Structure 1
């Protein structure tokens, strides 16, 4: 089974026959012990340190359909090496573009993304409300805001409602989480530990969604909720809205409340906070475990992983764009 590899240390990635070799390089320029990765086992790489590669390696990765995602010091996603889009189809490109260009069809899809995201956020809050957290005010506010989604006629108006829902949702983090306070969402850079975790997790979720889109006929640059822009795969932002409460927020709550992540795993500086390598490794482990966790799918009647749920979401959206079946966003049913 193919898996993701996370490279936290600076180093050099090279090809050795049909094996990938990662050689860590210290700050003094000294090389560490190489690690060998069978190419058959690699799905993609997530790089959090500087990485030296050459064109020969990139050509090899491209032929193997292995993508590489890059993040900067503050855990912001900076870009990806994406191999040639091997599944793109002309009809899908045309239909996806036509849905974007039609205001009514675009807003209907965008509403579904916000609807799914709001529902899954509410599920998280109700889960902790049942565990003696006083969240009735936040739950009622999000439920009321959610009723306004279907009446929107413009994407900016919808984005405003989505922003208000998230503002209320993030306010609840200070009630759910022990020992740490969010004190409002801050991104560039994150102001405290909770903000650093959210930013780090959201970027991982975005990259995973991008990787799943790549294995379908969808074009990742044509989106419906977020405005398509230069140099970004905005459809992955759309899909990530639905899955962030499940793949990112739940692990954050668990890791902090069980004290698996502590203050020593963060690097606090003036007006900014980032995860140390120890913190990144702890969160990535929990994130990967969440992705590989399986549930019994009600329609397929078989167990599927959370990661595969993202692929299934892409297939559902594809059917909608091809006018085969109306798209319904993924909502937690347990």
Structure 2
């Protein structure tokens, strides 16, 4: 099992990262800032948000070690990733490409990805219905709709029909998400709005989805899969279709659940967001710090994994699922089994 290492997140505008022996040295723009170093050995990856500089020697060392460096916008949009030489067996990628081209192989994998997302969405809605003081009946009705969508996903005749089922389930689920936010938080959810998000809740969701995507993308590459050849999402230049496929099951159970926790416990509120020119909303620097701290803590929590028969840290789940996908493509497993909370 891969060891769960740390991820270094740097978001201070004007900060710079440098190689200092076997450590990364963080230089902050403020005069007389204390010297800060971290051992590279304990870092799985480095994520920089916004105007942060990374030195050439540090990039070269990370590429040599296979340590990913990820660039994201301050709003959490994935920009690019440096990870060094490609890993994995070319035969695995060849099997992946053949599976994508064969509808009889592609459709069951795509169904499993959608089923994992719908099941985890349904579980989150049911949990909220049990804990809710209001809207219990509405949440239970939506959970019943999601159960029907789950059955429909298992019998979808082709990818187009399956995408329609997934879209209908997502609309129902986001209706439930609006009901799961406590009214005394000062925040509300108008429905999913992206590119760009124009309200705080959507800004938080987009930021967390960006973190999930970055982790899943890295897991695909580490296992040796091609992140750009998927089964549910179509192939398009620059679109990491497989990473998007595999992250579907993690959206509700990891990103949405954490967002609801942060909002309903008032760890983030209206003051943690700012409106940019043009109407886009994003987290403030202090808001991002709060979310990233919670994200790092959340990655260490363990959840049961039915296939492995034991508990696994959330931060390792993308690697586990990427390996299960690889085993499916090698025909070592009869089909892909998504992780369900």
Specify the TM-score bucket, using the shorter chain as the normaliser.
Answer: over 0.9
- Note if 1:6 corresponds to 2:9: yes
SS in 2 for 1:117: helix
Which residue of 141, 147, 152 corresponds with 2:151? 147
Q: Does 2:116 match 1:116? A: yes
Specify the SS of the correspondent of 2:248. helix
- Deviations 1:187-246 (Å, cap 9, x if unpaired)? 111111110011001010011111222221222222111123222432111111001111
Residue 200 (structure 2) aligned to one of 178, 190, 193: 193
**Higher mean C-alpha deviation, range 245-254 or range 113-122:** 245-254
Alignment of 1:213-228 (within 5 A): 213-228=220-235
From 233, 236, 256, the counterpart of 1:229: 236
Which residue matches 1:303?
A: 311
Q: Which residue of 1 aligns with 2:102?
A: 102
Equivalent residue runs for 1:151-170 within 5 Å = 151-170=155-174
Kindly report which structure 2 residues correspond to 1:181-330, keeping only aligned pairs within 5 A, or say none.
181-269=188-276, 271-326=279-334, 327-330=336-339
| 1:75 to partner: Cα distance | 2.1
Q: Which runs of 5+ in 2 are unaligned?
A: none
C-alpha RMSD of the superposition:
1.8
1:150-201 deviation digits (Å, cap 9, x = unpaired): 2323323322221221111111122110232111111111111110011001
Classify the secondary structure of the residue corresponding to 2:249. Answer: helix
8 Å contact from structure 1 (residues 23, 31) kept in 2: no
Moved more, 93-102 or 75-84: 75-84
Q: Give yes or no for contact 2:305–2:339 (8 Å, CA) kept in 1.
A: no
Looking at structure 2, the residues matched to 53 and 283 of structure 1 have their Cα atoms a distance apart, in angstroms, of 23
TM-score by length of 2: 0.90
Q: TM-score, normalised by structure 1?
A: 0.92
Shift of the 279–314 alpha-carbon distance from structure 1 to 2, 3 Å rule, reads: same
The farther-off stretch of 67-76 and 39-48 is 67-76
Residue deviations 1:28-76 (CA, integer Å, cap 9, x gap): xx68444212111111011112222343322111111111111113321
Deviations 1:2-23 (A, max 9, x none): 2101111132211112221121
Q: Residue 223 of structure 1 contacts residue 238 of structure 1 at CA under 8 Å; is this kept in 2?
A: yes
Contact 1:247 1:291 in 2 (8 A): no
Structure 1's unaligned 5+ residue stretches are none
Q: Is the 8 A contact 2:16 2:55 kept in 1?
A: no
The aligned residue for residue 52 of structure 1 is 53
* Alpha-carbon distance between aligned partners in 2 of 1:127 and 1:304, rounded to the nearest angstrom: 21
Between 1:120-129 and 1:183-192, the stretch displaced more is: 183-192
Decide which moves more: 117-126 or 181-190: 181-190
Equivalent pairs, count? 328
Q: Structure 1 75/164 Cα, relative in aligned 2: closer, same or farther at 3 Å?
A: same
Residue 129 of structure 1 aligns to a residue whose secondary structure is helix
Q: Is the Cα–Cα contact under 8 Å of residues 178 and 191 in structure 2 kept in the other structure?
A: no
Q: Distance in 2 between matches of 1:53 and 1:31?
A: 20
CA distance in 1, matches of 2:273, 2:113: 32
